[in-house]
Structure 1
Amino acid sequence: MELSEWVADIAVERFGAGGTQAHGPDPATTLVFCSRSEEAFVLGPRTRGRYFAGVDAHRLLVRLRPGLARAVLGVGVRSLVDEVVPLRELWGVSVGGPAGLRSALASRLADLDPRSDALVASAAGLVLTSGVAGAAARLHVSERHLRGLFGEAVGLPPKQYARVERVRRAVASGGTGGWTRVAAELGYYDQSHLHAEFRATMGVAPGAFAAGRYPEAAPC
């Protein structure tokens, strides 16, 4: 099975010892295998950035598509917000290394309908461009239904989901082309709006973050 049909992103991150590792917010639920602990974890939706002292390690990350986490993990996503949970605690078994994680995930996905999270996936894109009211109208559901659906399937209210996702994309952009351009591309009212949400989420202004001037790091 091609996991790319089901997940938002699959990536390998490599870190070196020394310095600081900066991790931005992310409204997605992510499965991670870390070489340092040799164990797989679930990272719930992260509403704030975090900073850790650098260690020599690499990790495989599988970001689940919006709405998929509850079916894959067997728990409500609200309970995972800003939490890190060993995957074995949810699945009852250890998956071993990266290949084992991919295999175990593919096995669980085999029994799911690819269209099962279609409404949530569509809503996740629409709330970024059309807001909650616009997304609900486009999908022919009530705003109340959309908020309830998001809370259960994604773990965050749709408005908070959009805010976290915009900051995640701003972090990933690194300010390429200037922060005014980034603000316009991501749907902020203006650059000051981006700066306010970025600082509230990451603890520093966008320019300071891009220059590597991070807050004090916690032990990894």
Structure 2
Amino acid sequence: MSSSITPADLTTRGILNPAAGLQRFELRRTAPAPDLARLVDWHWVVRWSLAAPFEQEILPHPCVNLAIEAAGSAVHGIGTRREVARLEGTGRVVATKFKPGGFFPFAPLPMRRLVDSVIPLVELFGSVAEPLERAVLDQPDDATAIRAVEAALRARKGPEDAGLDEAMALASRAQGDRDIHRAEDLARAAGVSVRTLHRAFERYIGVGPKWIIRRSRVQEAAERVASGAPVAWAALAQELGYHDQAHLIRDFKAQVGFTPAAYAERCAAALLKEGAPGVKG
């Protein structure tokens, strides 16, 4: 049975300028059922009730999200660019965040085709989509709604694939191992050629290892800035595996859309205005 994620597991990584957003919407995350935990990172539910529209900027993770909402249920593939989610009026989203590669057993098309795509649920799940959407949207209790999503996933899961677990483990290592700076480092650790590594990532995940490494580093840098704590950029650049501070700044601006200094100013202003944000577990 699913359970709430503990505060120690909570992170705002990927949510840009979270102090501005988390005062305007409520975010709750729930751990998946044990039999789905190999593939699913967590379920998440967002609720909002706004007098004025709000746009939340997001730096997506290297994963697929299945989102059910009244405005249109869809599968959101890996987004390689910064995204903006517009919230207005009153609403609720019940979603599932898969681990990198975790959506592969449920995908009826190559993972590469999901990258930078939002595909209506009915196009991927067919006749299952409408009853699933109704079961979730008609159910105000989040836990019950999530159980409906998990039941649909169990029914849809495809056969096991021998290479999936290794690809998922390597993607996780690309995100978290700070000694992995390049695709070549990851290939060496896996004992395979760079070409073989790229083929596996394209098949099971949809994006290459270099992109995952860069995205995770910038997400970490952005999260540290958003916390309001002072950042020693030269030291952080070294810690994250960049050649120098200038390289980190260029990568940060390319992905976030602002220099680290400009982003820090935005986050500081939001923290001063809104107070420290919180994510519900």
Which category of TM-score, normalised to the shorter sequence, fits these structures? 0.7 to 0.9
After superposition, the CA RMSD in angstroms is 2.8
Is the counterpart of residue 147 in structure 1 residue 198 in structure 2?
A: yes
Secondary structure in 1 matching 2:73: strand
- Looking at structure 2, the residues matched to 87 and 161 of structure 1 have their Cα atoms a distance apart, in angstroms, of 26
Give the direction of change, closer, same or farther, for the CA distance of 1:169–1:42 in structure 2 (3 Å limit). farther
- Looking at structure 2, the residues matched to 183 and 167 of structure 1 have their Cα atoms a distance apart, in angstroms, of 10
Give the direction of change, closer, same or farther, for the CA distance of 1:209–1:143 in structure 2 (3 Å limit). same
1:192 is matched by which residue type in structure 2?
A
TM normalised by structure 2 equals 0.65
**Offset at residue 155 of structure 1 (A):** 0.9
- Looking at structure 2, the residues matched to 123 and 22 of structure 1 have their Cα atoms a distance apart, in angstroms, of 28
Greater gyration radius: 2
Alignment match of 1:40 (pick from 67, 73, 88): 73
Alignment match of 2:230 (pick from 173, 178, 189): 178
Q: How many residue pairs align between the two structures?
A: 211
Match of 1:67 in 2: 101
Alignment match of 1:166 (pick from 208, 213, 217): 217
Give the direction of change, closer, same or farther, for the CA distance of 1:112–1:209 in structure 2 (3 Å limit). farther
1:195 is matched by which residue type in structure 2?
I
TM normalised by structure 1 equals 0.80
Give the direction of change, closer, same or farther, for the CA distance of 1:143–1:184 in structure 2 (3 Å limit). same
In the alignment, structure 1 segments of 5+ residues that lack a partner are: 214-220
Alignment match of 2:251 (pick from 158, 173, 197): 197
Give the direction of change, closer, same or farther, for the CA distance of 1:52–1:10 in structure 2 (3 Å limit). closer
Alignment match of 1:92 (pick from 98, 117, 126): 126
Cα deviation code 1:118-149 (max 9, x no counterpart): 21122113334323222212222111100111
Deviates more, 1:68-77 or 1:122-131: 122-131
Aligned residues of 2:82 and 2:256 also touching (Cα < 8 A) = yes
Is the counterpart of residue 102 in structure 1 residue 150 in structure 2?
A: yes
Match of 1:218 in 2: none
Give the direction of change, closer, same or farther, for the CA distance of 1:6–1:125 in structure 2 (3 Å limit). closer
Matches within 5 A, 1:52-63: 52-55=85-88, 56-63=90-97
Aligned-pair identity (%): 27
Match of 2:66 in 1: 31
Aligned residues of 1:66 and 1:121 also touching (Cα < 8 A) = yes
Give the direction of change, closer, same or farther, for the CA distance of 1:71–1:202 in structure 2 (3 Å limit). same
Give the direction of change, closer, same or farther, for the CA distance of 1:106–1:23 in structure 2 (3 Å limit). same
**Offset at residue 206 of structure 1 (A):** 3.2
Secondary structure in 1 matching 2:219: helix
